[in-house]
Amino acid sequence: MRSSPSAMTVAAAGAKYLQVTRAYNVALERFEKAANENMSLATLQNRAKAVAAANLAEYTALRSTVWPARVSTQMRALAKADAAARPHWLEVAASESKSEMADHLKLATAAGGKAPSAQIRRLLGLPKYDEKDYS
């Protein structure tokens, strides 16, 4: 009889979650800052590429980790939201104008907005998301 890998403790899961999601959160905040400061299209494109790459890394890590049962459903939902948002971030990065970029950004935000991040943080006993932690 083979045993399945045991899930980590809730405390370890909280630390792992923060580690796994950090790069994507930083990339999102950097993109938002560039957009708010009306930086060049090229800068926004490069930051959107970084968001897409961080999104893929987060997705991969979420899917390859054995999470505690109390958050496993939410982690799968977060990975699904990442997968839904990623093609839109690639379109943001490939946009040839800021108005085209804005259209794709709305789709990326809508797809990623379905993510259960706040619920995951609550279940793991983590503080609420604070963008200052990532900017």
Mean pLDDT of successive 10-residue segments in the chain (135 residues)? 64 96 96 96 98 98 95 95 96 97 93 85 93 87
Q: How is the chain split into domains, by residue range?
A: 10-127
pLDDT score for 115:
74
Beta carbons of 112 and 77 less than 8 angstroms apart? no
